[in-house]
Each structure stands twice: as structure tokens, then as C-alpha cells.
Structure 1
Amino acid sequence: MSYARHQTFHIRSGWLAKALEELNKDCRLFSKKDALIRLGIGKNMVQSLRFWVEAVGLFEQKPISELNGKQGMALTRFGNIVKKYDPYFELDITWWIIHYNIVKDENLATSWYYLFNIYPRNEFDQFNFIDKISTYTDNAVNKSSYKKDFDCIISTYVKDNTVLDVPEDNIVCPLTELDLIKSKGNIYCKTSPGRQIPLEVLFLVMKEASSGNIFINISNLENDVCNIGKVFNLSLDKIYFYLDLMQENGWLRFSKTAGIDSVVLSDIDAWQLITNIYKTINKGAAVNEA
């Protein structure tokens, strides 16, 4: 488990695009002295960005054959898709997958994982969050580290109305647009997003959570960690709504066994669906530009 590796900085608009560009030139960028200059950010922000490129699922540290087995940052499957189809991080689907990658990783983004998957209520504040996660993690770190994570989570998902929403402003985190957490003063609430989540992303989450099992109970979709109910704050009604749409696409079918509603997943490659929708979006953009 890890805490506060973000150095108190949430993802800034433009950060990931710059990291993608520079890491493609040098997979050991973050160990270089000129990383600050090449990325155009300060020392602590560089350390934060090093954390975020892994937490969002774009890169992973692994031995690089071209470097005689030395560790370097290698693109993940998701990272390769983004590099090819959305290098400037302009598409909503990219940010839905980024959110999923963050909150499913208990080891790298422990507090994010805890809030969305484990925390027992939708409503929370700083005191209750820190109290509950301290118990859950057996006081793994001091309270100040939990507070840094809490503050960063809020900055990640809740838009600060005092910050001007203008193109030149790169302080706002694009994940605030997903409407997954709303605030009322110092009270926060996990909320079901008003905008429709891409079906391809939901199917990906379901497939990965199923661990190869094609039969899934509806209750698992709603209540299991790292499944669509927890990851996206979905009610049971919303889950059925999305399942109907996916069934129409032929990706799954409903089954009732012993009075229990369950879903039978198709053998479609979820990542291929993700790639296909990126291709479709890019083709549409090209037609519009023409």
C-alpha cells in the first residue's frame, strides 16, 4: 500500500500528454537530471507525475531489453491505445478508463481504492474518511499522510469554483468532469454520474472483475470491489439500464437461475472493443474536419 506519493499534486490538465511525449523519447526520463526542464514543472511535481503515469495505467516499470534489462517506463496496452488515438487526452473515454485504473489499484492508490470500493457510505467528510481508512489500514501511516490523500482526492474529483475554467488554466483536473463526487460545504458525496459512461468501459470493468468467469450475479456487479457498481457509484437501476444496452449490442445476456438474476458474458475481447471505439471516434473527427 502507498500514500501521498502524489506529493499533494492532483493530475493537472496537460501533464499526462507531456509525460507521454517525453517518456516515448526516453523511458528513463524520471531518473534524469533534466527531467524538470523537459517536463516544464518543478521537482516535487516531477515526482508526482512519476506516480501518476503509473497510477492511471499508462506506463509500468519493467526491465527494458534495449537497456540491458535496466528498469524503465514501458507503455501498457492502454498506454499504447492512448498514444495512437488520443495523445492529447481530449476524449472522455480516456478519462473514464483513467479513473477505473486509479481506483482499482489498492497497492498504488490505496486511498482512492478505499474510498470507492470499501468506504461504507456515500456521504463523507475529512474526519470520517481519515478515521475509517486509519482503521482499515491499521494506522499504516500518520494522520497527515491520510489527510494529504484526502485533499488530493477532493482536488481530483471536485471542481474548485474559485478557479476560472479557461484554456490557459491547467490547474483543474479533468476527472472533475466525471461528476463522481459532489460537495456541499465540507461534506462530500459519491454520486452516480449524470453523463452516460461508455459501454465499452463498463464491459471492460466487468470482464476484468470476473477473472475469466462468464457467469456473474447482479449482486456482484453492484457490490464487489473493482466492479461497476463500486467504481462508478452506480445504483442497481443504473446497472440494469447499462446491462440492457450491452445486451442489445450482443456483449452479454441475462440469465435467471434459481430465481437469481445473473449475467452471462460473451467471449468478446473487451480491450478490442475499447480499441474499436477509439478508432470510430477518430474516424468521426476526421470526417468532421474534412
Structure 2
Amino acid sequence: MVSIAPNHKSLEYRFDQVSFGRHQTFHLRYAWLTKGFQAMSADPRAFDGDESTVTLGVGKNMVVAIHYWLQATRIAERRPAGLCPTALGQAVFAEDGLDPYLEDEATIWLIHWLLATNGAQATVWRWFFNHFHQAEFSLPEAGNALTRFVQERLGNKAPPKTMVNDLRILLRMYEPSAVGPRVPLEDALDSPLSVLGLMRALPESNRHRSAAEERDGPPDGIFGYAITDLFDQIGLRTLPIGELMYGRPGFPALGAVFRLTENALITKLERIIRCLPGRFALREQAGVHQLYSLRDAIDPMDYLRSHYRRGQPANTR
């Protein structure tokens, strides 16, 4: 059994731990997690010295950005020895790991969950996918809502401009890029998260759409990982469907993170129960549908292994 608890960041909001603007205005790019993981695995101080630009083959600001995204996606963390893989990062991105080169779209769904539940290091991502429920919006509308949330709920006085810049990066990461003769090649390279279909720019307007849908993703193994991860962090044996959909106070909202309708959420829960029997069950108590954990402890990695072990074909891009 692979235990991720010692290196796993809590999914609960810590109001004294929020961050904004640490990406140097660079969105996450396809090769960065693999490249950064390999560099820190060879040398935990790979990001600290003057040679980091040579080691990683990018400019100084991009080195800082890669360093940030490795931590924001929870596959690395700072320790006294330097930047080191988490147990989950090692399981997925090691040379003999489950998917070190992001060849399976399931891994991108996993990265989305890890990023969208990291309130301490990816505060805007956590807010957007758990608390912002406006299906269509403009950047100013989202910026105003974010500013109010941060000031009222987190007690943080981060500059609104910095938070809006984070929102711009979030949009850049999740919306497929428009490719044309006036778009530089570097800017046309999508973030891996854009393949998930969780957001799109509305044509001929300055508005965007990110709405709950009856979508196919995430795959069962990733959805099971997320459920188990959530139960593990909350420390309960049962959760009402409403809390899984919209969130328990202080914790992520499973349905909202994956932009699922309630019907799609229940359908996926039923599939998860069949995927690995004897771990979860759906029951009704006093007219309230709830998901029950049937064991004192369930290893989230069981679900990841169940996906990759089946040898599902990689998503070709």
C-alpha cells in the first residue's frame, strides 16, 4: 500500500495560508511537470542555484514558475533538503511511475483535482472551482466576486490586480487557445488542462462559460481517488450527496470541482461503488441520500492503480 498521508497537504482551507501571483504570469505547460519532476529527483536543489536555467533549459522566470506549479499541483513540496517529490508525485511521475509523461488524459484530471483543492498555494483555483457558481461570466465579474470572497471569508487584503492576474492565468490554462496568424506559437501552446472541456470562451464576446454538465470525465479511477481523498481529509464515514455536490464548509465540493450536474455525480458514484466493491455505498437515511465509507481507511491509490492497471489507451493529442 502506498500511503500519501505524510506528504499530503490538507484539503481544508487554512485562512492563514493563501497565495497569489506566484506563477510569474506563466500558465502551466505540458512538459513542465515532467521536466521539473525529473530535475528535482536528480537534485533537490536543482531550482535553487544559478545553474537552474541551464538544467531546465528555460529562462529564470520560467524556473520560478515551474517551481511553483510543481507545488501547486501537489506533486512536490519544499523540505529542508530542497524541493522533493510527494509520495503521490513519486507514484505518478517517477520514471517507472503510473504516467510520467502525461500520456493518459486521466492524469490531467488528477492534476486538476490536486490543483483545484489546494487552497494554500492555488487560492484562486480553489475559489473558482469550489465557490464560483456563475455559469457565464466576464473577467471583471469574476474578479469582483473573488475580491469579495477573499476579503470577507479569508480576511486577506491581497491587491485586486494580483488576483485578477491569477484569474487571467486560470482562464488561459483551461480554455483552448485560438490559433491564428497573429497568435505567437508559444502562446498557442495549450495548458494540458485545456483538454478537459471545463471552460470555454464564448465567441464574439468577452464572456466565458464554465458550467455543470453531464460530462464523461473524470475517469472512474480519478473520481474514486478524489472521493477517497476527500473522505480521508474530512475524517468522516458518511457525507450527504448535497455536501459532495456543493461542499462541506471549509472543504472542496466534489461535484463543483469537476463541473458535474447532480445526476452525473450520482451516476459516477454508482460506478465507483461497482469499480472496487466493498469500499463505498449509497444509502438513504431520513430522506437524505448519503455516501458511506464501508472501511475505517481506504487508500486513494487503490483507485489510481485500478485505472492504470487496466491499461486504458492513452488519449492521443
- TM score, norm. by length of structure 1: 0.88
Question: 2: distance between equivalents of 1:26 and 1:56?
Answer: 20
Amino acid at match of 2:52: A
Pick from 158, 165, 170: which aligns with 1:153?
170
Q: Is the 8 A contact 2:246 2:253 kept in 1?
A: yes
CA deviations on 1:65-112 (whole Å, 9 max, x unpaired) are xxxxxxx11211221111212121211121111111111111101111
Pick from 292, 301, 313: which aligns with 1:271?
301
- Give the match for residue 136 of structure 2: 123
Q: Does 1:178 align with 2:191?
A: no
- Give the match for residue 280 of structure 1: 310
Change (3 A) 1:163 1:244: farther
- Give the match for residue 290 of structure 2: 262
Question: 2: distance between equivalents of 1:102 and 1:16?
Answer: 13
> With CA pairs under 8 Å and 6+ residues apart, which has the higher RCO, 1 or 2?
2
User: Which structure 2 segments of 5+ residues have no match?
Assistant: 1-17
- Give the match for residue 91 of structure 2: 81
Amino acid at match of 1:228: L
Pairs within 5 Å for 1:53-92: 53-64=70-81, 72-82=82-92, 83=94, 84-92=97-105
| Aligned length in residues | 276
Root mean square deviation, CA, Å: 2.3
Pick from 116, 121, 142: which aligns with 2:159?
142
Q: Is the 8 A contact 2:106 2:219 kept in 1?
A: yes
Identity across aligned pairs (percent)? 25
Per the TM alignment, residue 273 of structure 1 is displaced from its structure 2 partner at its CA by 2.1
Amino acid at match of 1:176: S
Q: Is the 8 A contact 2:29 2:192 kept in 1?
A: yes
- Give the match for residue 263 of structure 2: 237
User: Which structure 1 segments of 5+ residues have no match?
Assistant: 65-71, 286-290
- Give the match for residue 69 of structure 1: none
Question: 1: distance between equivalents of 2:256 and 2:267?
Answer: 16
- Secondary structure (helix, strand or coil) at the match of 2:216 reads coil
- Give the match for residue 146 of structure 2: 133
Question: 2: distance between equivalents of 1:79 and 1:170?
Answer: 28
CA deviations on 1:157-208 (whole Å, 9 max, x unpaired) are 00112269xx999821010000111220321121346433111222222222
